[in-house]
Amino acid sequence: MEYRAINLAEKLGKVSELWSPRVIAGLNDYRFKVARVQGEFVWHAHEDTDEAFIVLSGQLVIRFRDGEVRLSEGEMFVVPKGVEHCPVAEDECHLLLVEPAGVVNTGDAGGERSAPVDQWV
């Protein structure tokens, strides 16, 4: 059988929209997603799940109501479920996200910045 490596940079190269995570792999009922982000996203929370952010390139700030965390390449953070957060990237930043299938990027906030759910690339 042929087994194929999943190259993160190659997958990111196929994503043109910002703030629109695309699935690259499944792990049981969890999904790995890549995302290109720049600028400020929307404040939101995921009421039912934690959400993992891994920075592949660039820098990401995740703002919380009572603080923030700054992530550089090779760093990660898990936002606990129910915690309001707002991701911000001054310059373009590439992310690997891990979360259960079915998670909407805007969480409880919804709105026009909601991306298609679990769309593969």
Binding residues for its own copies, rule: CB under 8 A, are 1-9, 24-28, 30, 32, 49-52, 54, 56, 62, 64, 66-72, 74-78, 81, 96, 98-100
**Rg of the chain on CA atoms, in Å:** 14
Q: Which is nearer to its own copies, 19 or 53 (CB)?
A: 53
**Smallest separation (angstroms) from its own copies to the CB of 109:** 20
Opening angle at CA 50, ends 48 and 56, nearest 5:
140
- Strands 22-27 vs 85-100: parallel, antiparallel or unpaired: unpaired
Q: Which is nearer to its own copies, 2 or 112 (CB)?
A: 2
Q: Which is nearer to its own copies, 7 or 119 (CB)?
A: 7
Question: What are the tokens at 7?
Answer: 């190259």
**Smallest separation (angstroms) from its own copies to the CB of 1:** 5
Q: Which is nearer to its own copies, 52 or 113 (CB)?
A: 52
What are the CA-CA distances from residue 76 to residues 4, 25, 114 (Å)?
A: 25, 18, 23
**Smallest separation (angstroms) from its own copies to the CB of 112:** 28
For the CA atoms of 16, 48, 83, 15, what is the dihedral angle to 10 degrees? -10
**Smallest separation (angstroms) from its own copies to the CB of 96:** 8
